[in-house]
Structure 1
Amino acid sequence: MDEVLVALLRTAIVFFMILTFFRLTGKKDIGEISVLDIVITLLIVDIAVIMIEDTDISFMKGIAPILLLFAIQYTFSRISLKNQKFRDIVDGRPVLIIREGKLQQENMKKQSYNLDDVLLQLRTKDVFDICDVDYALLETSGALSVYKKGDQSPFTLPFILDGMVQEEHLGIFGKDSSWLRNELKEKGYENFDDVFYCGFTKQNKLYIEKRIKEDGKSKV
């Protein structure tokens, strides 16, 4: 009976710990959970099962690895929030799969993404002909974002994210960093680092949002 009570108590504690973990990762849809979150979650679940089933393992010995994984996830998430390069390494980046109705085969190979994968995701969006697609991006979550030809809203991608220039996105629109620098200077921005977000609006004009300093003031 004592073993049953211990197992129940451990189960309750682990449940609230895992619930807390998901709260710390932020409000995300299941499809938006990062690879890091999935890996850590699986490890926590495995450790939790062992700790609950084997009551001979001391509570602190069982809980210590879970707390370590919590600390790793929290540290990585804080670094990712402030460092795009680190975020790209951990979470990856969106990849262009279709451009102006043509499959980007090299990008597909790099992502181990085959034709069946493309066609399946297109069908889920009621698209049955690749030629009807203007652009399609494979998101870091594995979902395919599709922009069809004839859509009313213009296709756009960010040119600057958290002070980092997105050279690949500029290239898709036939632009480069020199063009972007001149455009920003005309609007009073001397450095890319001053910009938190920059991209085209529906009117094909640049939308720019200033980067906020740690003290909460706009960086100018």
Structure 2
Amino acid sequence: MDYAAIVFRTLFFYGLIIIIFRVMGKREIGELSILDLVVFIMIGEMAVVAIEKHDSPLLHTMVPMIVLMALQIILAIISLKSKKVRDLIDGKPIIIINRGKIDEDAMRKQRYNFDDLLTQLREKNIRSIADVEFAILESSGSLSVIEKLKNSGNETKQGDITIPLILDGQIDEENLRRINKTNLWLRQELKKKGYRDIKKISFCSYENGNFFIDLLDEE
């Protein structure tokens, strides 16, 4: 067995994988999408096979690894410009607890049970579901929790969360329905504020009756 070749290939692919992951961009492990995991696993498996089969040409492994890297970068660029592609690749955040009320239908659709919910709440030091105003199951599988606000008398009161209504010039109809508003209402409210062209709005959110609006970068 040629141990020198094995050591060389191990070091070579170690460096190559680091370069590929750096080029693809930084993301926390908990924020990886399904597509990220598939690409990372495939690249890792290719490297292992190439190290074991030390008599095969390096290019036979390098080419598919670089192709996967290029594909990942292209899809990332497309997803930045298209919310539909972003939702398809990464999925959408799902509100599991909305204003203190558990949405069992949303849990069933995500195959997410009460044991999962309670486990993730305990991990965030939340003792009771009654203390939760909003719980959002993120596309990464992590749970974001917003606790109920408390006044000076230690009594809880309702808060709100930021609801994105426009992303990359596209109106999010689902979020409009969530706050019991219509497309026409949004357009009228934006016109009052001087925004007539929806496509020029990069991000628009609604929270506690207030809008936050950010325009697309103009070249």
Q: TM-score, normalised by structure 1?
A: 0.89
In 1, Cα distance between equivalents of 2:147 and 2:90: 26
Match of 2:95, SS? strand
Which range moves more in the overlay, 63-72 or 144-153? 144-153
Which range moves more in the overlay, 79-88 or 153-162? 153-162
Alpha carbons 1:102, 1:130 under 8 Å: kept: no
- Structure 1 residues 87-118: Cα deviation after superposition (integer angstroms, max 9, x where no partner): 10011000111112221111111111111011
* 1:168 to partner: Cα distance: 2.3
Residue 159 (structure 1) aligned to one of 145, 153, 165: 165
Residue 209 (structure 1) aligned to one of 200, 210, 214: 214
* 1:154 to partner: Cα distance: 3.8
In 2, Cα distance between equivalents of 1:145 and 1:183: 29
* 1:151 to partner: Cα distance: 6.1
Alpha carbons 1:10, 1:52 under 8 Å: kept: yes
In 1, Cα distance between equivalents of 2:209 and 2:124: 26
1:194 equivalent to 2:200? Answer yes
Alpha carbons 1:135, 1:147 under 8 Å: kept: yes
Alpha carbons 2:9, 2:54 under 8 Å: kept: no
Alpha carbons 1:167, 1:177 under 8 Å: kept: yes
- Structure 1 residues 7-33: Cα deviation after superposition (integer angstroms, max 9, x where no partner): 222222211222122223323222112
Aligned to 2:146: 147
Alpha carbons 2:204, 2:211 under 8 Å: kept: yes
Match of 2:133, SS? strand
- Structure 1 residues 20-47: Cα deviation after superposition (integer angstroms, max 9, x where no partner): 2222332322211221111100000001
In 2, Cα distance between equivalents of 1:151 and 1:162: 35
1:171 equivalent to 2:182? Answer no
Alpha carbons 2:169, 2:203 under 8 Å: kept: yes
* 1:133 to partner: Cα distance: 1.5
1:101 equivalent to 2:100? Answer yes
Match of 2:14, SS? helix
Match of 1:189, SS? coil
Assess, with a 3 A threshold, how the Cα gap between structure 1 residues 181 and 23 changes in structure 2: closer, same or farther.
same
Alpha carbons 1:198, 1:209 under 8 Å: kept: yes
Please, which runs of 5 or more residues in structure 1 have no aligned partner? none
- Structure 1 residues 136-175: Cα deviation after superposition (integer angstroms, max 9, x where no partner): 1100111111112116974222111111222222223222
Structure 1 runs (4+) deviating above 3 angstroms are 151-154
Identity %: 40
Aligned pairs for 1:41-120 within 5 A:
41-120=40-119
Match of 2:144, SS? strand
Alpha carbons 1:198, 1:207 under 8 Å: kept: yes
Please, which runs of 5 or more residues in structure 2 have no aligned partner? 152-158
